A and B are shown apart, each in its own frame.
Chain A
């Protein structure tokens, strides 16, 4: 079983719609969780951290469910500029991060 699993998509969503991705992780001892965003042929960039109580940053909401070992990302009122690959990231030992293979999102005009 992979340490971090994501649906690769692609998700093709009309502009203005709401879209949600889930991600599952295998290590119950994981402490920190993140969503990174990667544009085509670019480097990954931190989108947001995921806190136990859930957190929101503008149109983006992240949730953590420790009991079921999954995290989610919700994007409301999607924009064309949201088209990217979204990487679910979980910490391992020390500073090691384990990345999912990503979910590709395309926002359609």
Chain B
């Protein structure tokens, strides 16, 4: 299996622009998680889906962030408008049963 796939791997954008991050979970996994990692705050859960349904979005920082999972093989995390403080590494992870999560390689986002 290819593992969790994320794109793009790197994104540099200007403040105010829209950013869309993409994730393809491992086939057969029914849960998908979006995390953000920074030096100051470590790894934070933003939102997770189970069977394509958002279960908990309490970690989404504000209305500028939104996430969708239109089908079992694809999810997006969108930031609009982006701000410099959104600069971080964004990871997507998936799991087929509780707790053992497999992470993608991450998207390194820089907002200037």
Q: How far is the CA of A44 from the CA of B98 in the complex (A)?
A: 17
Binary interface encoding of chain A residues 83-109 relative to chain B, with 1 for a CB under 8 A from any of its CBs, else 0: 000010001011111111110000000
Q: B34 near A: Cβ within 8 Å?
A: no
Q: A46 near B: Cβ within 8 Å?
A: yes
Binding site for A on B (CB under 8 A): 31, 33, 41-45, 48, 50, 55-56, 91, 95, 98-106
Q: A1 near B: Cβ within 8 Å?
A: no
Q: A12 near B: Cβ within 8 Å?
A: no
Which of B43, B44, B91, B98 touches A95 (beta carbons < 8 Å)?
B98
Binding site for B on A (CB under 8 A): 32, 34, 42-46, 49, 87, 91, 93-102
User: Chain B residues near A94 (CB, 8 Å)?
Assistant: 50, 55-56, 98
User: Chain B residues near A46 (CB, 8 Å)?
Assistant: 100-102
B interface secondary structure, majority: strand
Whether A95 touches B106, Cβ cut-off 8 Å, given contacts A43-B91, A46-B100, A46-B101, is no
Whether A45 touches B55, Cβ cut-off 8 Å, given contacts A95-B50, A99-B42, is no
User: Chain A residues near B31 (CB, 8 Å)?
Assistant: 95
User: Chain B residues near A99 (CB, 8 Å)?
Assistant: 42-44
The 5 nearest A-B residue pairs measured at CB: A101-B42, A43-B103, A99-B43, A95-B98, A32-B99
Q: How far is the CA of A95 from the CA of B41 in the complex (A)?
A: 21
User: Chain B residues near A93 (CB, 8 Å)?
Assistant: 56
Q: How far is the CA of A98 from the CA of B55 in the complex (A)?
A: 16
- B27 CB → nearest A CB, Å: 18
User: Chain A residues near B105 (CB, 8 Å)?
Assistant: 42-43
> Is B99 touching A34 in the complex (CB atoms < 8 A)?
yes
User: Chain B residues near A98 (CB, 8 Å)?
Assistant: 45
Which B-chain residue is minimally distant from A32 (CB atoms)? B99
- A39 CB → nearest B CB, Å: 11
User: Chain B residues near A44 (CB, 8 Å)?
Assistant: 43, 91, 103
Which A-chain residue is minimally distant from B97 (CB atoms)? A95
Name 11 extra pairs, CB < 8 A, besides A43-B106, A45-B103, A95-B31.
Answer: A43-B103, A49-B99, A87-B43, A91-B98, A93-B56, A94-B50, A95-B48, A95-B50, A95-B95, A98-B45, A101-B43
